[in-house]
């Protein structure tokens, strides 16, 4: 990874939302945290409070207007990597607020640095497990869109638990998105894309918008939405994408098509 310019925590603070946590020493902070989630991805995966502690520490869901200082619509990206999608989107759409969740600290800080050096007012980053943030901190109906681009496939069966896109995650995304809002997904892994679409299609809370999926694809050879999209293109790998509209249908947790 190219070394970003180093900014201090204080300089980055306006671009960072920290998961509220309780406790004072490393040993007592996250007694119930799922070790699979915490340590699966890398040694610098962001630690998370347990659900119980998080709820105890923060009874209030995120107040978007307070966080961004305005009442503009909010879109969430799950697994931002180095933050290219939010860089482009937040620049192109200054009247929308963007909230990126990335579980690996060095990527989150890399992305936050990109936004900080451009002094971008409409983007924030969180270092956390997006599944937990959507479940425990994002208020219902509060966001206009959730973007999930090139989520890690976790090929091995025993690593399935680490997948971001599960029936529970899709239900939490549905709860977060206001009716009329969008869920946008893309992957270069056909099997994983099939899994995601099978989950979402079984949910009455979403309706497919095939007309918009093409529009979400980059229109030029350099107009990549994300770094992984660029990699897929360079390798000649096909990319699958879909866009869903949040209906007024009920939120359901559908059976996992992956079988577990
Ligand atoms: C394959 S990369 C794709 C990055 C970016 N979306 C792109 O298309 O270039 C998947 C990213 O999701 C992050 N990630 C994996 N599990 C996550 C989770 N539970 N919550 C938040 N981010 C996660 C990984 O650390 C990684 O940066």
pLDDT digits (tens, 9 = 90+) for 187-213: 999 999 999 999 999 999 999 999 998
Question: Mean pLDDT for the chain?
Answer: 85
Helix orientation angle between 105-117 and 84-92, rounded to the nearest 10 degrees: 30
Q: CA 1 → CA 82, 106, 107, distances in Å?
A: 9, 10, 9
Ligand 1 pocket test target in 126, 151, 154 with most atoms within 8 Å of CB? 151
Q: Does CATH place domain 9-246 in 1.10.3720.10?
A: no
DSSP notation for 209-238: -HHHHHHHS-SSTT--SSHHHHHHHHHT--
pLDDT digits (tens, 9 = 90+) for 64-102: 999 999 999 999 999 999 999 999 999 999 999 999 999
Q: Does the annotation mark 152 as catalytic?
A: yes
Ligand 1 centre to CA of 53 (Å) is 25
Buried b / exposed e along 178-208 (16+ C-beta atoms within 10 A): eeebbbbbbbbbeebbebbbebbeebebbee
Reported pTM: 0.89
CA-nearest residue, atom 1 of ligand 1: 152
Q: Evaluate: CB of 104 within 6 angstroms of ligand 1.
A: yes
In the chain, what are the domain boundaries? Answer: 9-246
Q: Evaluate: CB of 187 within 6 angstroms of ligand 1.
A: no
């Amino acid at each position: 990874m190219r070394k970003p310019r180093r900014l201090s925590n204080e300089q980055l603070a306006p671009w960072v939302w920290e998961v509220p946590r309780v406790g004072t020493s490393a040993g007592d902070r996250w007694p119930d945290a799922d070790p699979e989630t915490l340590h699966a991805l890398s040694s610098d995966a962001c630690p998370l409070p347990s659900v119980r502690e998080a709820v105890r520490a923060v009874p209030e869901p995120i107040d978007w207007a307070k966080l961004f200082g305005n009442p503009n619509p909010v879109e969430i990206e799950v697994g931002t990597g180095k933050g290219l999608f939010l860089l482009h989107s937040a620049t192109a759409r200054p009247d929308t607020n963007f909230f990126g969740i990335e579980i690996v600290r060095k990527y989150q800080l890399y992305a936050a640095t990109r936004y900080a050096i451009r002094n971008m007012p409409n983007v924030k980053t969180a270092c956390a497990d997006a599944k937990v943030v959507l479940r425990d901190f994002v208020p219902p109906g509060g966001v206009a869109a959730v973007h999930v681009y090139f989520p890690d496939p976790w090929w091995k069966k025993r690593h399935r638990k680490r997948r971001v896109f599960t029936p529970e995650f899709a239900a939490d995304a549905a709860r977060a998105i206001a009716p009329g809002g969008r869920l946008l997904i893309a992957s270069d892994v056909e099997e994983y894309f099939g899994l995601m679409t099978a989950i979402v299609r079984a949910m009455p809370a979403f309706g497919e918008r095939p007309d918009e999926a093409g529009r979400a694809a980059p229109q030029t050879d350099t107009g990549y939405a994300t770094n992984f999209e660029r990699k897929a293109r360079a390798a000649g790998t096909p990319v699958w994408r879909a866009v869903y509209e949040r209906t007024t249908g009920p939120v359901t947790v559908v059976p996992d098509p992956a079988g577990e």
